[in-house]
Structure 1
Amino acid sequence: MTENKRIAADTLGMEAAEMRRLGYKLVDMVVERHLHRNHEPAIQIGQPQDLLAALGGELPEYPLDADESLELLAQVALAHQQHGDHPRYFARVPGPGSFAALLGEWLGVGFNTIAASWGGGSGPATLETVVTGWLAQLLRLPTHTEGVILSGGSIANLNAFMVARHETGTGVAYLTDQTHASLKRNLQHMGLPDSHIRILPSDADYRMDMHTLRAAIAGDRQAGLMPMMVVASAGTTNTGAVDPLVEIAALCREQGLWFHVDGAYGAPAALTAQGQRYLAGMELADSLVLDPHKWLFQPYDAGVCLITRPSALERCFAMYPEYLRDAQGQAQQVVNFGNRSLELTRRSRAVKLWMSLRTYGVARFREAIQYGIELAELAEKVLHEQPDVWEVVTPAQIGIICFALRHAEPGEHARRAQTLADSGFACLTSTQLRGREVLRLCTLNPLTTETDIRETLARLAAYPLPARIV
């Protein structure tokens, strides 16, 4: 290439003053949104043609105005979504990200951080080692526990399942009808046939039934099959129920099975004394998954896979091609996180966790989690105050409660939940419990107030609602 044809070195950059101006503007936009997010709709869903008209158009050949693009992102693209950090977003499992975590995320992205190998990112690798170690300590797991941070619970559970199969050999996995739906899908795409995936009926409290589990394992052995793993829930998505973890752990030891715990939403409750009672036995797991973007108040995304068998992650995933030799590092204590999952190129999700744990300290996390537990208990109290209107179907359990209108018509719960969501005031979901439609509140956000709980329930009871209320 001739000298006069060479592209300028920073053709995709900006002048320093412009970078600062746009960067400060972006910070102001985010801070303003954090300060006033309780005034935006809890969820907003747009029409495809409207969103495409505002955000699409011809592929830009030449520069467009950056300020206009930022405004379009904030006011159109990012406004039309579920706002999991809204104090009245009670659907699914909220993600109330903290600001200190956001600072860490920004810095990691701004430094183009990579966390694949020691040679390519020894600092980020150290952060991930520290953070996964801290999480293992908080959850009272063995000191030799090792981990990796992935995108969320679905992928983290799949990671653990692949390690379990590698360590024990393939065989039958045991779940319940309350296990998160993604876990069955993980097992199927991992190669287990449906005949090796046991979906067992839960007990009256929507927990794993030990008699049913024992019978299923015995039946499979008698049929010549090899039991491989029991998948327990430390807080089911439907009701917040916790399987009998101590009993399952003992059975797995007795039978030589891998004991996996899906604590994607519920595991952080173990930071509190009340949560420890709910989650007793979780520390006995061979593998444990949790999502910090839920009850550890991180912005999306982060899912942690913790394995209590030393070096099992590397035994399952490690590879040593010649072109990565220089990046692997020589010291024995070096960790190459690209050898702990199927991800090779991976950003550092540990930066935000490290930043927020240092900024707030565990005590403030513990206080916030306990408050979420108490909010669900408050909702149960409010529902009991109107026994002629509401029935509590499952009690408050680590931040989740399910309830129903008395004498509701078919589909009425879903209609009321949708009307409330369309109003913008609050968002919650309906679900099915043994064929019965119920409403469900998940109360993880420390910004939620008693008034938010009471007003949300009052508006649900007062259906039909006006077309839009905020």
Structure 2
Amino acid sequence: MARKPPFSEDPFQVPPDTLGLSAEEMRRLGHKVVDMVVDRFERRNAEPVVTTGDAADLTNQLGGALPNMPMDPDASLDLMAEVALGHMQHGDHPRYFARVPGPASFAAILGDWMGTGFNSICASWGGGSGTAIVENTVVSWVAEMLGLPSQTEGVLLSGGSLANFTGFCVARSEVGRGVAYLMDQTHASLPRNLRQMGLNDEEIRILPSDETLRMCPDVLAASIEEDIGKGLKPMMVVATAGTTNTGAADPLEAIADICEQHNIWLHVDGAYGAPAAITQDGREVLKGLERADSVVLDPHKWFFQPYDLGMCFVTRPGALDRCFSMNPEYLKDVQADNEVNYGNRSLELTRRSRALKLWMSLRTYGAQSFREGVAHGIALAEEAERQLRAAPETWDVLSHAQLGIVCFARNGADSEDHAKRANRLSESGFATVSTTSLHGRTALRLCTINPLTTAEDIQRTLELLAAPM
């Protein structure tokens, strides 16, 4: 006997919704999720900054056999919140000082929820004209806040790694293959990007930083002249607006002069530090940013957005599309010749609308609140430095406060001692810091870019770090 089809042969009959829920159940569960998230917002100052579980125990709770039959969604949500989301770093915690925090705002979360709930897409004009305009809008808003030229175009990606890779691809497309110049303080993902883009070791120059851990214009100029003398073609200089180690900003104005002289593409990695340019003091530190050909920024860091969100700005109109545009026959009905098709601005074709959360938060809080939040982060690092210098018998400041980062060492301590102190602090749940190495000396590092962090938070963190082992 032939098996009956799962649906009626009547083409007008609505098939059963085996992957859905009733409207009443969707509302109930949706309200529960909102309550859980808001509850977590209210208690995040008191929760442990980092919680790491045992792999076997977590697998026992979260894994198991494939669920062939439906399970209770309430129990799954509770398990997700308590176990899966409870065992991770909380980058939005006011005392998360390690690496680069991610202090997400609630208005941005609302925008992200809306985008997910409406299954938003931003790939072609025909497939998402409204979301394309939202992305256009936030690109122009943020470019204006940074002081970039009015003709700046951009694209939103998952984060700094892919945003930088996108900028590199555009540089090669516009200038042609050649030598890329970086320094030893450049983020570790960027040489990897260059290699995966196809450059070999002979085409990647990693220059020594100067005594302030910045790119030295004289060293850069000499390296470029040497390569030209060898018959090599300089392609791109990768400068940094806020290094991960110390927050140092390269001398962008002097580097821009060198690039202009030799017609070299200037790319600025400002994944964490570029937002400083929206403040008066930060704009002075990052003077020359507006002369870059491409700039990268991660709004999920110092622009208070939930993960993930990176931005690649290009100040040469049309360069993004010239690099990535493709027009196969099966996309002709959704692509518009005179409108933006964001699937032609990076390697991502199918792409969700990441811009909604940034649009929502800028409208809800206003650009001035962003400026105040960034300025607060800069001031907090300066406050941390003040507290450190007030205890010279205990601490030695190794790099002064720069764009929300300060590095320091305990007098007489070695790398093992610093690591133990950092681990003890993290295990306490109160705060977490990073360790690093500067000019061969180990250091402790604070990144203070959360607007909710207080001077008292910093004081207590330093007290716990200094306590006897």
TM range, smaller chain: over 0.9
1: CA distance, partners of 2:444 / 2:201: 31
Picking from 340, 349, 374, the partner of 1:344 is: 349
Instruction: Kindly indicate whether residue 32 of structure 2 is the aligned counterpart of residue 25 of structure 1.
Output: yes
1:211-250 alignment, distance < 5 Å: 211-250=218-257
1:255-334 alignment, distance < 5 Å: 255-330=262-337, 332=338, 334=339
Q: CA deviation at 1:304?
A: 0.2
Q: CA deviation at 1:409?
A: 2.8
1:405-444 alignment, distance < 5 Å: 405-444=410-449
Q: CA deviation at 1:429?
A: 0.5
User: Is 1:230–1:257's contact at 8 Å kept on the other side of the alignment?
Assistant: yes
1: CA distance, partners of 2:359 / 2:304: 12
Q: TM-score, normalised by structure 2?
A: 0.97
Q: CA deviation at 1:427?
A: 0.7
Question: Which deviations, in whole Å up to 9, do the C-alpha atoms of 1:140-162 show, x marking residues without a partner?
Answer: 11111100000000000000000
User: Is 1:416–1:463's contact at 8 Å kept on the other side of the alignment?
Assistant: no
1:385 aligned residue = 390
1: CA distance, partners of 2:298 / 2:53: 28
Structure 2 vs 1, CA of residues 389 and 78 (structure 1 numbering), >3 Å: closer, same or farther? same
Picking from 76, 83, 92, the partner of 1:76 is: 83
2:456 aligned residue = 451
2: CA distance, partners of 1:76 / 1:283: 45
2: CA distance, partners of 1:9 / 1:275: 58
Instruction: Kindly indicate whether residue 163 of structure 2 is the aligned counterpart of residue 156 of structure 1.
Output: yes
1:106-255 alignment, distance < 5 Å: 106-255=113-262
Question: Which deviations, in whole Å up to 9, do the C-alpha atoms of 1:240-293 show, x marking residues without a partner?
Answer: 000000000011000110000000001111111111111111011000000000
Instruction: Kindly indicate whether residue 107 of structure 2 is the aligned counterpart of residue 94 of structure 1.
Output: no
Q: CA RMSD in A?
A: 1.1
Question: Which deviations, in whole Å up to 9, do the C-alpha atoms of 1:306-346 show, x marking residues without a partner?
Answer: 0000100000000000000001024x2x1000000000000
User: Is 1:411–1:437's contact at 8 Å kept on the other side of the alignment?
Assistant: no
User: Is 2:157–2:312's contact at 8 Å kept on the other side of the alignment?
Assistant: yes
Aligned-partner residue type, residue 307 of structure 1: V
1:41 aligned residue = 48
2: CA distance, partners of 1:413 / 1:392: 14
User: Is 2:147–2:290's contact at 8 Å kept on the other side of the alignment?
Assistant: yes
2: CA distance, partners of 1:17 / 1:195: 63
Question: Which deviations, in whole Å up to 9, do the C-alpha atoms of 1:72-107 show, x marking residues without a partner?
Answer: 110000111110000000000000000000000000
1: CA distance, partners of 2:86 / 2:343: 35
2:11 aligned residue = none
Q: CA deviation at 1:415?
A: 1.4
Give the 3-state SS of the residue equivalent to 2:334 in structure 1.
helix
1: CA distance, partners of 2:398 / 2:384: 13
Aligned-partner residue type, residue 70 of structure 1: L
Aligned-partner residue type, residue 409 of structure 1: D
1:460 aligned residue = 465
Instruction: Kindly indicate whether residue 362 of structure 2 is the aligned counterpart of residue 357 of structure 1.
Output: yes
Aligned-partner residue type, residue 408 of structure 1: A
1: CA distance, partners of 2:161 / 2:181: 17
Give the 3-state SS of the residue equivalent to 1:109 in structure 2.
helix
1:55 aligned residue = 62
Picking from 373, 380, 383, the partner of 1:368 is: 373
Aligned-partner residue type, residue 456 of structure 1: T
Question: Which deviations, in whole Å up to 9, do the C-alpha atoms of 1:207-257 show, x marking residues without a partner?
Answer: 101111111111111112111110000000000000000000011000110
Identity %: 61
Q: CA deviation at 1:408?
A: 0.7
1: CA distance, partners of 2:333 / 2:468: 65
Q: CA deviation at 1:436?
A: 1.1
Range 39-48 or range 340-349, more displaced: 39-48
1:468 aligned residue = none
User: Is 2:7–2:15's contact at 8 Å kept on the other side of the alignment?
Assistant: no
Q: CA deviation at 1:2?
A: 5.4
2:403 aligned residue = 398
Q: CA deviation at 1:434?
A: 2.0
Q: Which runs of 5+ in 1 are unaligned?
A: 465-470
Q: TM-score, normalised by structure 1?
A: 0.97
1: CA distance, partners of 2:7 / 2:296: 53
1: CA distance, partners of 2:4 / 2:56: 46
2: CA distance, partners of 1:3 / 1:255: 69
Range 216-225 or range 354-363, more displaced: 216-225
Q: CA deviation at 1:8?
A: 3.4
User: Is 1:154–1:182's contact at 8 Å kept on the other side of the alignment?
Assistant: yes
How many residues align structurally?
Answer: 462
User: Is 2:414–2:442's contact at 8 Å kept on the other side of the alignment?
Assistant: no
